[in-house]
Amino acid sequence: MCIRDRFANGSGDFFAQVWLYAGCAIAGTLIGYWIAVTLAKDFRSRSLQAYSRAKTTRPRRVVRR
């Protein structure tokens, strides 16, 4: 594709397509991240789950004085 074909309808159309692509990419990323957080599949949620599970299953140490 020649560079002149991209600007055949004016540079406004070309940059509108760039902004549309960027908007779709950002929206897709946000939706994917929100789904991952909601389903607890992201790194932070998994590490918090593992931490809470480790703290609740291990018995407390008895301190002698």
Residue 38 falls within a domain, yes or no?
yes
| 3 domain residue, yes or no | no
Position 34: which residue type? W
Do the domain assignments include residue 18?
A: yes
Q: Are 49 and 40 in contact (CB under 8 A)?
A: yes
Classify residue 46: in a domain, yes or no.
yes
Does residue 45 form part of some domain? Answer: yes
50: domain range?
11-56
Q: Does the residue 41 lie in any domain?
A: yes
Of the pLDDT bands very low, low, confident and very high (cuts 50, 70, 90), residue 63 is confident
Which one-letter amino acid corresponds to residue 42? D
User: Does the residue 62 lie in any domain?
Assistant: no
pTM: 0.58
User: Average pLDDT, whole number, for the chain?
Assistant: 83
The count of domains in the chain is: 1
Q: Identify the pLDDT of residue 2.
A: 59
Pair 18, 25: CB distance under 8 Å:
no
